[in-house]
Amino acid sequence: MFAFNKNKFITLSLLPLVLLATMSHAKEHDSMSQVATLATQIETDVIKWRRHFHQYPELSNREFETAKTIASYLESLGLDVQTGIAKTGVVAILDSGKPGPVVALRADIDGLPVTESVNLPFASKVKSTYNGQDVGVMHACGHDTHIAMLMGAAKILTSMKDKLHGKVKFIFQPAEEGAPEGETGGAEVMVKEGVLSSPDVDVIFGLHISSNKEVGTVHYREGGIMAAVDPFKIVVSGKQSHGAYPWNSVDPIVTSAQIIMGLQTIVSREVKLIDSAAVVTVGMIHGGTRSNIIPDKVELVGTIRTLNPEIRHRIHQSVHNKATSIAKSMNAQATVTLPLDYSYPITYNNEKLMSEMLPVLQATAGTENTLLTNPVTGAEDFSFFQEKVPGLYLFVGGRAKTTPASQAPDHHTPEFEIDESGMKLGVKLLSNLTLNYMNNHH
């Protein structure tokens, strides 16, 4: 007589699922091994590309030769290439020919108005004009490495096309550092021009090299990793008088001083700093023409940095309330313009996506080299992409192991320098994130 063994039946019924999971894991491991091998093989090329872009940087919205070089290389890979997006942006599409998601990978391509002081054989000697001033031009924030890393990932993913499901969209974005006066540019313009559509992007990944984080490490955070930036202007209007007779005035200078001090209480007294950092800074004050004349008007210009959408909204309200109320108490008037000219959202890593991709970071860099990082109050216009689709923005180490963190050069300075060996991890991360997401979502 047949005896039914319930436990044995359950075990046998689960066996196909276990086998599928094991096969999937083995397939993923094989892909990562192949990525690692290819990244080592092309490392010399990645370094060569980086040095070329470093030696010949171009300012925001002026990346004409940079774009030509990028487009020419992508075309040599057989990709469908579009140019002139957001003025000088380049976008290429790799179609696997199989159904699946659209994964976007982004690199920024512009340099900065900084004169390089590092003694390198490929140091920039480029001069240009920025907002009417003669300036040196330098890749002082690592965008040259971002270009090279994404070109490397394009090479690897193209050669592994048979393992892809869906499409990869390579986005080389101009003007991350901000467009020149009177112009628009960067990620916001790319989004408006439809870079996330045709085909519609499902997810986007981006990297930033860091001169103060050790080579071989990747740094992540869910939620806000870089701050929203909101410049503001406050115009304080009063009544002019002789400086010897201040009682005949409504003094906008004294009023402005009170407003500045009042603004500093927003973060210190209204924001729960243990949950999220914030900054309110007044960086410019313009008013008056002589020591003995109280003017009728003063302008204050500053910036707000926040990492939480609710706190961002609250601070905006509070800046307006503080400025207008303090001015009224001094018999003056304050007009607040916020945001002033541009505004970047919070660079916000989708929590679900971060949780899903964390094992990929750990498998690529090693668990010991995959580090939770504190958010920074610098800003990134990658946030405009993340407003539309889930995205991750990560930091990759670019500091030599022999260089103490205290001696690492700052970004946006003439001394900025990175260890080029850190780029190989960036190439592997971009490739593995793409492959893993496609294999799990097709």
- Residue pair 154/170 in contact (Cβ under 8 Å)? The answer is yes
Tokens of 315: 């601070």
Other Cβ atoms within 10 Å of 27 Cβ, number: 13
Which candidate in 73, 220, 344, 393 is catalytic? Answer: 344
**How many whole angstroms separate alpha carbon 306 and alpha carbon 406?**
26
Comparing CA positions, the residue from 347, 256, 253 lying closest to residue 302 is 256
Q: How distant, in Å, are the alpha carbons of 20, 21, 31, 436, 442 from that of 17?
A: 5, 6, 21, 19, 18
Which candidate in 188, 220, 420, 437 is catalytic? Answer: 420
Per DSSP, helices labelled H in 139-233 are 143-159, 187-192
Q: Which residue shows structure tokens 């080029």?
A: 420
Distant-in-sequence contacts of 183-189, Cβ < 8 A, 24+ apart? 183/61, 185/60, 185/61, 185/86, 185/87, 186/60, 186/86, 186/381, 186/384, 187/106, 187/381, 187/382, 187/383, 187/384, 187/385, 188/381, 188/384, 189/86, 189/87
Q: Measured in whole angstroms, how far is the alpha carbon of residue 295 from the centre of its chain?
A: 41
**Does the annotation mark 420 as catalytic?**
yes
**Does the annotation mark 188 as catalytic?**
no
Length of the chain: 442
Q: How distant, in Å, are the alpha carbons of 110, 181, 278, 435 from that of 422?
A: 20, 34, 31, 21
Please give the helix or strand (H or E) that residue 26 lies within, else none: helix 6-55
Please list the active-site residues: 344, 420
